[in-house]
Structure 1
Amino acid sequence: MLGYRSAVTRELVLDAAAVTAARDLAWAASPAAGGSGTGAPAWPEALLPAWTGSTNEDLAALGPQAPHLSVVATLDQRSGRGRLDREWVAPAGAALATSLLLRPPAGVPVDALGWATVLVALVAAEAVDQLAGRQAAGVKWPNDLLVDGKKAAGILARLVPGQPPLGNTVVVGIGINLNQTRQELPVGTATSLAMAGIQAAGDQVLGTLWARLAGVSDEWFAANGSVTRPLAALGGRSVLEAARSTSATLGNEVRVHLPGGRELVGIATDLDSDGCLVVSDARGEAHHVHAGDVVHLRRSDGGYA
């Protein structure tokens, strides 16, 4: 990474003032600022290291009293990990790595917090569409953000149990490809925002994502984590409705790789209220697949959804 050279011009450090400006602009345009009548949150100061091993570890190091919406982000993460402890790496300046902390009220059921990954994926998709000025993003179940049908980001949410009066927190890690070239990406099913024609600096992406997540998560928490109650921040849709409409997986024939070498092939027909993917096999039997039980999920035709 230290010896990396590219013809692509890249910012190597996030700028706090630019992040704040992008966040405030996105907040002012959000449903949370207008239709719901909700005032702006008490934004914590974002921690923006020039480089770090892991933004998730940095966020955890803030301790149990870290405030709601705390953010750690960098353009140079060197020891990132994704789902199933898979390594996540990118050239310095080529990707945004960020971790955000959500602190739900005590009344939100723990079971509902399992939807946090889906919720953040929805928010990330909407943020990308806003930056693109078009409908560009979709969500590959359970935690990948697609842009024009290819993977542009991975999302991982982790529940951190807490004791009263602080309660539970959710740590959300996101890695977004900003400006990698085709040659820099590890597989042909990956992309970057720049490759999709979306010219957005890391400051702008972080600020937009931060503002959108604040509005949606706060309204969702006020609804006690319900996935069926309509939310103004999601255009009047429930989390479940929004997840179904944003899904790039539903309607496709998929191959689900399960532990122990087992495999399930069928049509992805639905997301249920527990967040499971419903896959109907050749006999018409519906299988409810939990994200924690999946090693890989691929489209049978080789597509990435």
Structure 2
Amino acid sequence: MLTSDDLHRVSNETFVTAIERHAVIDSTNNRALALAKHASHAEPCLLVLADRQTAGRGRGANTWWSEAGALTFSLLLDCRPLGLPVERWPVASLLTGLAVCDAFDDVLGGADSRVKWPNDVYLAGRKACGILIESADYRKGLLAIGIGVNVNNSASGAPHPLCETAISLSDHTHRPLAEAEVLVRLLQRLEQRLAWAAAGGGDLQAQWRPRCLLTGRQIEALAGESTVAGRCLGIDPDGALLLEAPGGPVRLLSGVVTRVD
């Protein structure tokens, strides 16, 4: 569990400008969205942190399992000081995934981490992190970035079938890790990735390619009410997933990957 000294470190070493901590909360993203709705003035970067989350949300109807030892938090981010325009928000999930991989490299001394488009991070072939990006108020430039990382909560304690597909950092290293170190590194790396995007973003495809879990694999994805299948070709410059399907090329700007062969 994070201490008051840990939170001071977060304030001093990252771009977080305010912290709201909860012992128990339903969803940190719900709280961030509520704050955005009612706040007349937003902090540049508010961290909503929970020791325990009872109803964490993923994309669509998905839920996020977490126990003691997990990092569960949301950032309510004012994108205007960062210079991140609304039209770049669709790639925020991808940038966050890349930042998580960067942080895993930092704390694990190099790691086999990959991003499953658009919002999951895998470590050694198992899910270690989930990401949920929501527009809090585009008129105010507010974006909610929800992140859940399995740090010291062993996946062996997860309900079936998650126990067979999830992993924590401590499962990977066979030792506990300092949650504060993971949080600080992740926030630092996220700030770097967002600043990179605000400055023009360069070649997102080149940044994504070595981290993509899906490239070259046969997948199925749900886009709206339609299911599409094909071989993943990576992403395009806008972050859309590219598939080589039997009926021709497919470009997905949003969706959920439901099967990977």
TM-score normalised by the chain length of structure 1: 0.75
| CA deviation after TM superposition for structure 1 residue 128, in Å | 1.1
Does residue 245 of the first structure (1) align with residue 210 of the second (2)? yes
Amino acid at match of 2:194: S
| CA deviation after TM superposition for structure 1 residue 52, in Å | 1.6
- Map 1:66-145 → 2, pairs under 5 A: 66-91=42-67, 93-105=68-80, 108-145=84-121
Partner of 2:252: 289
Secondary structure of the residue that 1:71 maps to in structure 2? strand
Contact 1:270 1:277 in 2 (8 A): yes
Which of residues 236, 243, 246 is equivalent to 1:272?
A: 236
Contact 1:23 1:207 in 2 (8 A): no
Q: Tell me, in whole angstroms, the C-alpha distance in 1 between the residues paired with 2:157 and 2:25.
A: 21
Does residue 57 of the first structure (1) align with residue 18 of the second (2)? no
Classify 1:57/1:213 alpha carbon distance in 2 versus 1 (closer, same or farther; 3 Å): same
Contact 1:16 1:46 in 2 (8 A): no
Classify 1:86/1:138 alpha carbon distance in 2 versus 1 (closer, same or farther; 3 Å): same
Classify 1:59/1:265 alpha carbon distance in 2 versus 1 (closer, same or farther; 3 Å): closer
Q: Tell me, in whole angstroms, the C-alpha distance in 1 between the residues paired with 2:12 and 2:192.
A: 12
| CA deviation after TM superposition for structure 1 residue 74, in Å | 1.9
Contact 1:178 1:192 in 2 (8 A): yes
Q: Tell me, in whole angstroms, the C-alpha distance in 2 between the residues paired with 1:105 and 1:151.
A: 32
Contact 1:276 1:289 in 2 (8 A): yes
What per-residue deviation string (whole Å, max 9, x for no partner) do you get for residues 69-97 of structure 1? 21111221112111103222322x13111
Secondary structure of the residue that 2:169 maps to in structure 1? coil
Q: Tell me, in whole angstroms, the C-alpha distance in 1 between the residues paired with 2:22 and 2:69.
A: 15
TM-score normalised by the chain length of structure 2: 0.86
What per-residue deviation string (whole Å, max 9, x for no partner) do you get for residues 114-169 of structure 1? 11111111111111111100133110011001111111111011122344xxx311
Partner of 1:146: 122
Partner of 1:21: 9
Classify 1:50/1:115 alpha carbon distance in 2 versus 1 (closer, same or farther; 3 Å): same
Which of residues 203, 208, 213 is equivalent to 2:180?
A: 203
Q: Tell me, in whole angstroms, the C-alpha distance in 2 between the residues paired with 1:23 and 1:264.
A: 44
Which runs of no fewer than 5 residues in structure 1 stay unpaired?
A: 1-10, 28-40, 230-237, 301-305
Structure 1 vs Structure 2 CA RMSD? 2.4
Classify 1:23/1:139 alpha carbon distance in 2 versus 1 (closer, same or farther; 3 Å): farther
What per-residue deviation string (whole Å, max 9, x for no partner) do you get for residues 243-298 of structure 1? 222111112121223444x4332210120122111110246x2111222xx34432
Q: Tell me, in whole angstroms, the C-alpha distance in 2 between the residues paired with 1:160 and 1:145.
A: 23
Secondary structure of the residue that 1:256 maps to in structure 2? strand
Identity %: 27
Q: Tell me, in whole angstroms, the C-alpha distance in 2 between the residues paired with 1:193 and 1:23.
A: 24
Partner of 1:179: 152
Amino acid at match of 1:215: Q
Higher strand share: 2
| CA deviation after TM superposition for structure 1 residue 66, in Å | 2.1
| CA deviation after TM superposition for structure 1 residue 191, in Å | 1.1
Which runs of no fewer than 5 residues in structure 2 stay unpaired?
A: none
Higher helix share: 2
